[in-house]
Structure 1
Amino acid sequence: MLTASIADRQAGRSHPLLSERRNILVIVDEAHRSHYDTLDGYARHLRDALPHATFIAFTGTPISTAEVNTRAIFGDYIDVYDLKRAVDDEATVRVYHEPRIIPVSLPPDIDPDTIDDEVEQLTASLDDGERRKAEAKVATLNTIYGAPDRVETLAKDLVEHWDERRTLMEPQLGGPGKAMLVGATREICVRIFDAIAKLRPDWADPAVDKGKMKIVFHGVPTDDELLRPHHLRPSQLKTVQARAKDPDDELELLIVHSMLLTGYDAPPIHTIYMDRPMRGANLMQALARVNRRFRGKQDGLLVGYAPLTENLRKALTEYSRRDQEDQTLGREIDRAIGEVHNEIAVIEAMLAPAPVKWREILANGQDRTRWVRAVRKVANYLRDPRTPGNTVEPGTKPLHQRFRDSAGRLERFYALCATSRDFVERAGDIQRLRRDITFFRDVRVWIVKEEAADREAKGLPNTAEVERYLAHLAAQVVDAADITDIYEEAGLGRLDITDLNGVALQRLQDSETPHLAVSALRRLIEQKMREVTKHNVVRQERFSALLEDLMGRYMRQQLTSAQLIVELVELAKEVSADARRGQRFDPPLNHAELAFYDAVAQNEAATELMGVGTLADIARELVKSIQSSITVDWFSREPVRAKLRTHIRRLLARYDYPPDHERAAVDLVIRQMETFADEWAPNGQAAKH
């Protein structure tokens, strides 16, 4: 601990020398105020105590002013990990700036250029004399930024903005996320809180663990009645901070003055409303509250109720050239608006060759299902493997994936600028533009749902991001009653694969979206295949090969949609019938015995030579003997597996199984055993690698 007594300071004595060694490293995390007081403060004492030490500092907000200069204290940069690189590495997200300035009325004796300095000084450590001066400055700021009409305007705009912003972010986050409002003074924070509470009474709650909004600021015993209700004890402050970090907590809006603007991370915060004219390192620190990665968050948003554009530009001059060019923190919302229009142009070009006249369908006011029909038809066109652009070389994305990616970017940038006044003013026909953006989003949702259903049919999991996206958007695409069954969406209704009759077949062939019908039927077959052949390697491979051959012929345009549907229906019948195949034997084979029968009967020569009845007896004995001899570690220990192989070979030899086909049969039986590993092993679980 480096300290100097009051007597030492009054006598002008310096801090005592601790060491003159030159191999001492002083590592400083967050090189800020305490290291710039080189006259009679911590920094001076540290250097008096260790005059030859090497000082190395880390900071995300370098400072360069006449009074305070990071490099003057610590030397030039050793290494720079800039803001753009952090975004490129997906460590943080880019932050966009949407100006929504609410004008202030300045008294004639107030210089607008000094307002920033006034605000900055309010966060410094104050003695009594300085505090009296600060109180006068607070009174001025309360008059300027806290005028009743201005506060009322800000509260109304914030509520409307947040209502739309939270909705737009739900697909990315799986919930509304959080926002932070920064006020110029503590008094103004309370006034804004009260104004919002009038508009949304349900947002406010006196209980610290309830309510959608909370104020956090430093409270002192001398505070007046306006501020005291919002004082928080340390334990209460921790509760509020924890709530802001919890994406499932109802708290959505934190109102702060200076607390939580540095050193506090709440990744669900994606929007910061700034009604305080900050600048320099303090501004950049505040922006970092919304650049943290969280779930599907791709960007943060700074909404400027105070003028910040010039301050952002100046603050970025302390950062790398790449950061300045990229505007990683504080990028103008105009760039997001430009991206929206670029992606719309790209998507329209993709759909231009389509025979689907989706705009005409949407314009047909007599068709009550026009929206769903148009979405289905466009999704069908994009997903059809015969559509130009869907047959591509390896490494190249097909048309439907390029549409999905472009529509995803459109959705991302629209979420940023949808609330921007500039976006609305430059849109032309804003209602038509929003309709088109919503339509492209709905087509994308349909495609993502199709891809998710494909994975589920194959028994593969979907990513948490996809699950969140579909959970929050699927119900918005069409009426909830229409979304419950993906096969009904494709025009199949609630078909039962075990009962596909002529009427059902005709309905499939007459579908308005034949490729979606084909895809849905294929998924039904895949699901039934997994159910019927769960433990049967031979039948799995057989049915998968048949299905793959059919889909390959379809993609090569050797089969039309109608012809493929007929073939798929026949395959579906065969798959359904396979579940009852064991009943043909005398006595009948259960599903396990049938699986091992298929393993030893895979070789046609063995079937012809030995006959079906003998192979069925081998299957029954295999199941019985394997179940009685299997151990927990059979799957992972090679000696145990070798012993099982020997056991199987002896059993096959006892039935005079053809020796030249024995090895292949043993390998297949072992593979078949692996599908029963967890069910048959003692305690219901086999030890695996």
Structure 2
Amino acid sequence: MSGKAMIVCMSRKICVDLYDAIVALRPDWHSDDLNKGKIKVVMTGSAADSERLQKHVGGKQRRDTLAKRMKDNSDPLKLVIVRDMWLTGFDVPSLNTMYIDKPMKGHNLMQAIARVNRVFKDKEGGVVVDYIGILESLKRALNQYTDSDRKNTGIDTSAAIAVMKEKLEIVQSMMHGFDYSGYFSTSARTRMRTIAEGMNFILGKDEKEQKDFIQYATELGKAHGLVSATEAGKAVTMEVGYFKAVKASLIKLQHGSKTPPSKHVIEQRINQLLERSIISEDVIDVFQTLGLKQPEISLLDEHFLQEVKALKTKNLAREMLKKLLEGEIKVMSRTNLVKSELFSEKLKRSLNKYRNQSITNAEVIEELIRMAKQIRKMGEDEAKLGLNRDEIAFYYALSKDEAVQDFYDDDTLKTIAQELTESIRKNVTIDFNIREQAQAMMRRTIRRLLKKYNYPPDQAEDALEIVMKQVNRMSGNVAENLTYDGMLAQQAAEDSEDYKL
């Protein structure tokens, strides 16, 4: 039968070079007419391309015309040369040969090869001519593909089963010493608790082993996906499902989730797993599973902290507190630079002491609980100052140095913070961060204010830099409707009064 072919090249220049070489040997294959000729180059381009490349570049209309011709088995167009075009999502059933001279891997490689394996009339299969050496990339890509695509690419099922068993043994060895038989229970509550306890077990290992578990559990899931319909695959479906659930829940705990599944959804997924023996990456809500109410850290009360402290799964308790604190510090950093840096450093020190085995798991949990209480206490103290959010941020920026705290009383610091905030609010804009002139004028404004209140000269330089950093944070939060159009004239008249630091 008459078939069609595709050549895959590394670059657009190579595509054109190859086209020229082929038509030099077969001049009758070439035609300047888009609707004629046996060979065409399909690629995108730009106005900066040389005239030689421009001849083969066109818009959507050109590509659509060539696509229609390529799909028509009776059309003279038999050979196309591409770099990236038509390698995925483009079906030409009569395409039976692909020449590859470009490195490819993973999903893209498998999709490209599948172009020549589409069923068509008497076609028994496609031919891939490898000029660059894609065999190893093809082997690595096998773990990423589905059963139907595996059949198309001719994967050896016995080899895939061997890979799955190897990955399973690795993950089993990493869970050695932990009994996860509760996951095979018909009780959804027992199964969720077993996932939480498995997370606690993995969190008790060092960071490298935690990352290794996530990696190997992911590889196991992909390998099992290739053989899930075989007897060997069916036999371990539930066990693989458990490891995937632990992995997915660890990732959620470490990176967060905007839309965590509800308990009802979790139970539905587990019931599906029981009824159909399918694999699902069940992600559990740790707080629900352990019987804790999801907290807002700014409202952490003694009862919640004591509940966490009493948890038997200490590694999970530590990780939960760590993530809660990191979340609060992240929110804090958007509006209060000094305060967020203070607690970020405290958290880092506590966790480093634990990782270096200077303190026990129980002791680091105590430190994290104390930190949560400090955040709550500072919030209560701030409320008594009678300042708004931005004024509090500048209050911290101005009083960071202990010498300054000794120099001023609270009322004076509050007054400076209020006046500073008001002045900045009048003069800051959204694009403040990128306008050098505006920043220079802001520095002069701050200098004059510090001079007005006799700010200690030895601490003034550091205070200026800290306040400027805080101003940059503030500019992204509150300056949408502000301008500094009148600032230039005002500052020019006052330059001679600058407080030199």
Question: Which category of TM-score, normalised to the shorter sequence, fits these structures?
Answer: 0.5 to 0.7
2:160 corresponds to which of 336, 349, 353: 336
What SS class does the counterpart of residue 153 from structure 2 fall into?
strand
Question: Residue 553 of structure 1 contacts residue 559 of structure 1 at CA under 8 Å; is this kept in 2?
Answer: yes
2:179 corresponds to which of 357, 378, 382: 357
Task: Among all aligned residue pairs of Structure 1 and Structure 2, give the percentage whose two residues are the same amino acid.
Answer: 23
Deviations 1:438-467 (A, max 9, x none): 1221122112212222xx7xxxxx9xxxx9
Shift of 1:557: 3.1
CA distance, structure 2, for counterparts of residue 670 and residue 370 of structure 1 = 54
Distance change (3 Å), C-alpha of 1:477 and 1:443: farther
CA distance, structure 1, for counterparts of residue 160 and residue 261 of structure 2 = 21
CA RMSD of aligned residues (A): 4.9
The aligned amino acid for 2:433 is F
Shift of 1:503: 4.2
Query: Paired residue for 2:427?
Result: 629
CA distance, structure 1, for counterparts of residue 250 and residue 155 of structure 2 = 32
CA distance, structure 2, for counterparts of residue 608 and residue 533 of structure 1 = 26
Query: Paired residue for 1:64?
Result: none
CA distance, structure 1, for counterparts of residue 136 and residue 382 of structure 2 = 70
Alignment pair present for 1:545 and 2:366: no
CA distance, structure 2, for counterparts of residue 641 and residue 597 of structure 1 = 20
Shift of 1:666: 0.9
Alignment pair present for 1:605 and 2:427: no
CA distance, structure 2, for counterparts of residue 372 and residue 643 of structure 1 = 59
CA distance, structure 2, for counterparts of residue 494 and residue 45 of structure 1 = 69
Distance change (3 Å), C-alpha of 1:36 and 1:475: farther
Provide the aligned length of Structure 1 versus Structure 2: 401
1:594 corresponds to which of 366, 369, 392: 392
The aligned amino acid for 2:390 is A
Distance change (3 Å), C-alpha of 1:414 and 1:632: closer
Distance change (3 Å), C-alpha of 1:268 and 1:635: same
What SS class does the counterpart of residue 282 from structure 1 fall into?
strand
Deviations 1:545-593 (A, max 9, x none): 12222222222333333333333222212212323333333xx211111
Alignment of 1:490-505 (within 5 A): 491-498=291-298, 500-505=300-305
CA distance, structure 1, for counterparts of residue 260 and residue 288 of structure 2 = 22
Distance change (3 Å), C-alpha of 1:605 and 1:526: same
Question: Residue 429 of structure 2 contacts residue 480 of structure 2 at CA under 8 Å; is this kept in 1?
Answer: yes
Query: Paired residue for 1:43?
Result: 28
The aligned amino acid for 2:224 is Y
Distance change (3 Å), C-alpha of 1:550 and 1:478: farther
Query: Paired residue for 1:238?
Result: none
Alignment pair present for 1:438 and 2:241: yes
Query: Paired residue for 1:452?
Result: 255
Larger helix share, 1 or 2 = 2
Alignment of 1:453-532 (within 5 A): 453=256, 485-489=285-289, 491-498=291-298, 500-532=300-332
Query: Paired residue for 2:19?
Result: 28
What SS class does the counterpart of residue 432 from structure 2 fall into?
coil
CA distance, structure 2, for counterparts of residue 125 and residue 631 of structure 1 = 65
CA distance, structure 2, for counterparts of residue 377 and residue 299 of structure 1 = 43
Query: Paired residue for 1:212?
Result: none
Distance change (3 Å), C-alpha of 1:537 and 1:414: same
What SS class does the counterpart of residue 634 from structure 1 fall into?
helix
Distance change (3 Å), C-alpha of 1:322 and 1:569: same
Question: Residue 380 of structure 1 contacts residue 514 of structure 1 at CA under 8 Å; is this kept in 2?
Answer: yes
CA distance, structure 2, for counterparts of residue 660 and residue 433 of structure 1 = 69
**Structure of greater Rg:** 1
The aligned amino acid for 2:179 is K
Distance change (3 Å), C-alpha of 1:511 and 1:282: same
CA distance, structure 2, for counterparts of residue 554 and residue 377 of structure 1 = 21
The aligned amino acid for 2:227 is C
Distance change (3 Å), C-alpha of 1:583 and 1:409: closer
CA distance, structure 2, for counterparts of residue 507 and residue 298 of structure 1 = 55
Alignment pair present for 1:660 and 2:451: no
> What is the TM-score of this pair, normalised by structure 2?
0.65
Alignment pair present for 1:617 and 2:415: yes
Query: Paired residue for 2:96?
Result: 282
Of residues 651-660 and 343-352 in structure 1, the stretch that sits farther from structure 2 once superposed is 343-352
Distance change (3 Å), C-alpha of 1:510 and 1:582: closer
Q: Relative CO higher for 1 or 2, CA cutoff 8 Å, sep ≥ 6?
A: 1
Deviations 1:28-62 (A, max 9, x none): 3997xxx8997xxx82898xxxxxxxx99879xxx
What SS class does the counterpart of residue 28 from structure 1 fall into?
helix
CA distance, structure 2, for counterparts of residue 574 and residue 297 of structure 1 = 55
Distance change (3 Å), C-alpha of 1:266 and 1:327: closer
CA distance, structure 1, for counterparts of residue 451 and residue 317 of structure 2 = 50
Query: Paired residue for 1:418?
Result: 228
Alignment pair present for 1:372 and 2:182: no
Query: Paired residue for 2:169?
Result: 345
Shift of 1:310: 9.0
Deviations 1:212-266 (A, max 9, x none): xxxxxxxxxxxxxxxxxxxxxxxxxxxxxxxxxxxxxxxxxxxxxxxxxxx9959
CA distance, structure 2, for counterparts of residue 575 and residue 30 of structure 1 = 72
Specify every segment of 5 or more residues in structure 1 that has no aligned partner in the other structure, as ranges: 1-24, 47-54, 60-122, 127-262, 286-290, 392-397, 457-461
Shift of 1:338: 2.7
The aligned amino acid for 1:376 is A
Question: Residue 433 of structure 2 contacts residue 472 of structure 2 at CA under 8 Å; is this kept in 1?
Answer: yes
CA distance, structure 1, for counterparts of residue 362 and residue 468 of structure 2 = 41
Query: Paired residue for 1:645?
Result: 443
2:366 corresponds to which of 566, 571, 579: 566
The aligned amino acid for 1:332 is I
Shift of 1:378: 1.9
Distance change (3 Å), C-alpha of 1:351 and 1:477: farther
